[in-house]
Homo-oligomer: A and B are copies of this chain.
């Protein structure tokens, strides 16, 4: 097996999901978007696992439901038309992983973007129900309007997370010119 550490943030995130999520686990895709991560997680949790998927855009959920159904994976997924800051209204169990793929919906309205204040609320919610050694992944884009501000705000928040409670690891490609996404991984200790 060879891990694709060095391709991009999305591949690193997949490698971490592969090594964290196992059949029967419960996980949350906090930003369903085009559904790729939801689909990936639905495979990993298996028949007895559960994926909660949040998005504020109906278009994202419709698209994702279709993808899941065509792959026969919709049975283990609950799609929720709401923001991740409200996740306690829907989720009341321990989770193994949460993922935030920030920014706008590819192919959608580029002015509808995630914002650091609600993202941080969502992350704090996930941390409260995350299992020991569970992981939260945040993929952060800086190429769109507001993206850099969101990243800076998040980084300010991450830098003061208590290191006795969590490790926060930043993965960044530092020689790429076109604003490659940055990945943050939070492990609960």
Contacts and interface: CB of A to CB of B under 8 A. Distances in A.
Nearest to A161: B175
Interface string A147-175: 00000000100111111001111111111
B175 A6 contact: no
B175 A160 contact: yes
B187 A159 contact: no
What number of copies of this chain does the assembly contain?
2
Interface string A6-35: 110000000110011000000000000000
Contacts of A177: 163
B171 A175 contact: no
Interface of A: 1-3, 5-7, 15-16, 19-20, 135, 155, 158-163, 166-177, 184-185, 187
26 contacts: A1-B19, A2-B20, A3-B3, A3-B16, A3-B19, A5-B16, A5-B19, A5-B185, A6-B167, A6-B169, A7-B167, A158-B174, A158-B175, A160-B175, A162-B175, A163-B175, A163-B177, A166-B175, A167-B173, A168-B173, A168-B175, A170-B170, A170-B172, A170-B174, A172-B172, A174-B184
